Structure 1
Amino acid sequence: MLDLNVDYFILLAALLLIIGVLTTKFSTRLGVPALVLFLLVGMVMGSDGLGLIYFDNPKVAQLVGILALVVILFEGGLQTKWSSIKGVVKPSLTLATIGVLLTTIVVAIAAKLIFDVSWLEGLLFGAIVGSTDAAAIFAVLKEQNIREKLSSTLEAESGTNDPMAVFLTLSLIELITAETPSYLLLAGSFIWQMGMGLVLGYLFGRFASFAINKINLDSSGLYPIFALAFALLTYSLVDLVGASGLLAVYIAALVIGNNDLTYRHSIFRFNEGFAWMMQILMFIILGLLVFPSQFLSWELILKGLLLSVILIFIARPIAVYLSTIKMGFTRNERTFLSWAGLKGAVPIVLATFPMTMGLENSQLFFNVVFFVVLTSALIQGSTISIIAEKLGLNGPKKVEAPHSLELVSIGKANAEIIEYAVNEQSYITGQTLKKITFPKHVLVSAIIRNGDLVTPHGDTIIQAEDILYILVPKKRKNELKSFLSKRKE
Structure 2
Amino acid sequence: MFVGSFDIDYFVLLAALLLIVGVSVTKFSSRLGMPSLVLFILVGMLIGSDGLGIIYFDNAEQAQLVGIIALVIILFEGGMQTKWSTIRQVVWPSVSLATAGVLLTSLIVGFTAHYIVGLPWIEALLLGAIVGSTDAAAVFASLKERNISTKVGATMEAESGTNDPMAVFLTLTFIELITLTEPNYWLLFSSFFWQMGIGLVIGLLLGKVASISINHINLDSSGLYPIFTLSFALLTYSAASLLNASGFLAVYVAALIIGNSELTYRHSIFRFNEGFAWMAQILMFIILGLLAFPEQILSASVIGSGLLLSAVLILVARPVATFLSTIGMKYTLNEKIFLSWAGLRGAVPIVLATFAISADVESGQMIFNVVFFIVLTSALIQGSSLSFVAKKLGLSGPKKETPHHSLELISIGKANAEIIEFKTDENTPIVGQKLQDIEFPDSVLVSAIVRDENLVTPYGETEIKEDDFLYILVSRKEKNKLRKMLKHKY
> What TM-score results when the alignment is normalised by the length of structure 1?
0.94
SS for the counterpart of 1:470 is: strand
- Who is 2:291 aligned against? 289
In the alignment, which of 450, 462, 465 is matched to residue 465 of structure 2? 462
State the distance in 1 between where 2:65 and 2:410 align: 39
Contact 1:43–1:287 (8 Å) recurs in 2 = yes
In the alignment, which of 401, 404, 409 is matched to residue 406 of structure 1? 409
Q: Does 1:347 align with 2:349?
A: yes
- Residue correspondence of structure 1 range 410-489 to structure 2 within 5 A: 411-423=413-425, 426-428=427-429, 431-434=432-435, 439-441=440-442, 442-457=444-459, 458-464=461-467, 466-485=468-487
| Cα shift at 1:166 | 1.1
Contact 2:165–2:192 (8 Å) recurs in 1 = no
SS for the counterpart of 2:49 is: coil
SS for the counterpart of 1:431 is: coil
Matched residue pairs, number?
484
| Cα shift at 1:260 | 1.3
Partner AA of 1:12 in structure 2: L
- Who is 2:192 aligned against? 190
- Residue correspondence of structure 1 range 44-443 to structure 2 within 5 A: 44-401=46-403, 403=406, 405-409=408-412, 411-423=413-425, 426-428=427-429, 431-434=432-435, 439-441=440-442, 442-443=444-445
Q: Deviations over 1:165-195 (max 9, x none)?
A: 1111111101111111122111211111110
State the distance in 1 between where 2:34 and 2:40 align: 11
State the distance in 2 between where 1:42 and 1:4 align: 18
SS for the counterpart of 2:354 is: helix
State the distance in 1 between where 2:212 and 2:136 align: 27
Contact 2:264–2:411 (8 Å) recurs in 1 = no
Q: Deviations over 1:313-368 (max 9, x none)?
A: 11111111111112111001111111111111000011100000100001111110
Partner AA of 2:266 in structure 1: R
Contact 2:110–2:124 (8 Å) recurs in 1 = yes
Contact 1:399–1:422 (8 Å) recurs in 2 = no
Q: How many percent of aligned residue pairs carry the same amino acid?
A: 63
State the distance in 1 between where 2:477 and 2:430 align: 25
Per mean C-alpha deviation after superposition, the further-off stretch among 161-170 and 366-375 is 161-170
Partner AA of 2:236 in structure 1: T
Contact 1:399–1:421 (8 Å) recurs in 2 = no
Per mean C-alpha deviation after superposition, the further-off stretch among 291-300 and 321-330 is 291-300
Partner AA of 1:316 in structure 2: R
| Cα shift at 1:481 | 2.8
- Who is 1:29 aligned against? 31
Partner AA of 1:296 in structure 2: L
Distance 1:486 1:20, change over 3 A: closer
Distance 1:14 1:180, change over 3 A: same
> What TM-score results when the alignment is normalised by the length of structure 2?
0.94
State the distance in 2 between where 1:3 and 1:452 align: 55
What is the aligned-residue RMSD (CA, Å)? 2.1
| Cα shift at 1:418 | 1.6
| Cα shift at 1:62 | 0.7
State the distance in 2 between where 1:210 and 1:149 align: 30
| Cα shift at 1:475 | 3.7
Contact 2:44–2:285 (8 Å) recurs in 1 = yes
- Who is 1:13 aligned against? 15
Contact 1:340–1:381 (8 Å) recurs in 2 = yes
Partner AA of 1:375 in structure 2: T
Distance 1:263 1:461, change over 3 A: closer
SS for the counterpart of 1:444 is: strand
SS for the counterpart of 2:398 is: coil
Distance 1:195 1:480, change over 3 A: same
State the distance in 2 between where 1:214 and 1:461 align: 34
| Cα shift at 1:407 | 3.9
* Runs of 5+ unmatched residues, structure 2: none
Partner AA of 2:269 in structure 1: I
Partner AA of 2:99 in structure 1: T
Contact 2:267–2:410 (8 Å) recurs in 1 = no
State the distance in 1 between where 2:410 and 2:347 align: 38
Distance 1:153 1:435, change over 3 A: farther
